[in-house]
Amino acid sequence: MNRVLNFFSLFGSLSTLLCCALPVTLVTLGMGATFASLTATFPQIIWLTERKEMLFVLTGLLLILSYYLMKQAEKRSCPIDPVKRDTCQKSKGISLYIFWISVVAYITGLAFSYIIPRIIYG
């Protein structure tokens, strides 16, 4: 369950980058034609942008739930068997790593979508 939730959290966080941070970055770097070509090839980016409020709320909820489940998993001990114990500990470490990558991606998308425009345009 935790792996699936981490996957969807990461997927949602990366989607926030695609909808919000990527367009701003490309246009800022003078690559507007590249962005236009990208949206022509992958029109789903526009769909994500049109629904960014829902995307951010859903991804935020997934991240909160994922964090809660990770904290619950920390309280459980790993099996005594050395092979299973090593796999369990490695799995917990990978889950934590994926979670923090997801959080950074989410915050980056949030900043490009809501915080930076508010600072620039008031």
Tens digit of each residue's pLDDT (9 = 90 or more) over 46-55:
888 888 889 8
* Owner of token pair 């799995």: 91
Give the residue-averaged pLDDT of 99-108.
86
Averaged pLDDT of the chain: 82
Tell me what pLDDT residue 2 has. 62
| Side chain identity, residue 20 | C
Of 49, 47, 41, 53, nearest to 20 by C-alpha is 49
Q: How many residues are there in the chain?
A: 122
Distance CA 100, CA 25 (A): 22
Predicted confidence (pLDDT) at residue 5 exceeds the cutoff of 70 = no
Tell me what pLDDT residue 44 has. 83
Give the residue-averaged pLDDT of 19-42.
81
pLDDT band at 6 (very low <50, low <70, confident <90, very high): low
DSSP of 65-81: HHHHHHHHHHHSPPPSS
Give the residue-averaged pLDDT of 60-72.
87
Radius of gyration of the chain (CA): 18
